[in-house]
Amino acid sequence: MFDCIAVVGATGAVGSIIRELLEIRQFPHNRIKFIASARSAGRMLPFAGREVVVEALDDHVFDGVDLVVSSTPDEVARDFIPEAVRRGCVVIDESGYWRMDPDVPLVIPEVNPEAVRRHQGIIASPNCSTTQMVQSLKPLHDAARVLRVVVSTYQAVSGAGLPGSRDLDGGTRAALDGEPFRYECFAHPIAFNCIPQIGSPKHLGYTSEEMKMVFETRKILGDDSIQICPTCVRVPVANCHSESILVETERKLTVDEARRLFAATPGLVVLDDLEKKAYPMPIDCTGRDETFIGRVREDISSPNGVAFWCVSDNLRKGAATNAVQIAELLLRGTRSEG
């Protein structure tokens, strides 16, 4: 058991869910700290029937802490995590800063739990759009080796944080009322619109969000030969990312075989009956920790292709849940060592 655990970014959207999951899943500990920016210091947050005061993020706040679960912007993670590790903490990091560091394991517990053992004080949790895709690719890769992936994402505004949610709510009301609205998060109106850019321009016209899906997928699956063509789109949906995925494999997989592989994989739920109009949708998947698969069908344009639809709560499995599951992996490791 970890004596003292800390949640950094405890007042944010993901941090709030981390706090909720630690309480609901009764993660064992003796003491807990909630840490945030100086403007949130002094707030009281409920946890397990008591109130915990929020402490400001500084180097000394990590003294005596064993495990940190952190959800912060990249530049914050860059600055504080090395000091936390020097003070004896193991840090599970939700930011993008450490993900591609060769010394930092990038972990989805249902996919590569063994990678946790290689940590040197930092464990990274993947990007939300990567997590649900790699979860679904893993059983196909194990069975028939994935060669190529074409993926289009339909990403909810919650993935852009609270400002993104405010833009959708306020922009929708303003559009319905015929009033102007000043967007604070997005460069274009998100109400009644789709924005085919998430992140900054990067390699050959792809964005930073799209290249994350390429590099993180290869690192998690341990296969740099996988070819990936991603397009990431912000859509006017409150929560849950959806993805349309086409996978080409070395060995042909039938639709029935693919469905069986999905259904047998922990963390995946198959909801797939087109005649009954049964398939995953964001409105039904929000608040859930699983990743949902539907619309499984043969690729009629290539001999070894399978296409499917994938939906997951980006704040939960795409972020908070995955981090807490990594913490539980570490906990099991400390128990086995003991």
Instruction: Determine whether 241 is an active site residue.
Output: yes
CA separation for the pair 251, 100 (Å, rounded): 30
Helix (H, G, I), strand (E, B) or coil at 7: strand
Question: SS3 for 285?
Answer: helix
Partnered with residue 34 across adjacent β-strands are 7, 54
Strand partners, 106: 124
Residues 155 and 209: their CA atoms lie apart, in Å, by: 11
Q: Which of 29, 119, 128, 310 is catalytic?
A: 128
Q: Which of 29, 240, 241, 310 is catalytic?
A: 241
Rounded Cα–Cα distance for residues 258 and 310 (Å)? 13
Which residues, in sequence order, are CB contacts of 53 under 8 Å at separation 6+?
Answer: 34, 42, 43, 44, 45
Q: Is 34 in contact with 62 (CB distance < 8 Å)?
A: no
CA–CA gap between residue 206 and residue 201 (Å, rounded)? 6
Structure-block tokens of residue 257 = 């075989």
Known catalytic residue: 89?
no
**Phi first, then psi: what are they for 160, rounded to 5°?**
-100, 10
Structure tokens at 62: 């990590």
Q: Give the residue from 88, 41, 82 showing the smallest Cα distance to 64.
A: 88
255-263 vs 128-144: helix crossing angle, rounded to 10: 120
Residue type, 42: G
SS3 325: helix
Residues known to be catalytic: 128, 241
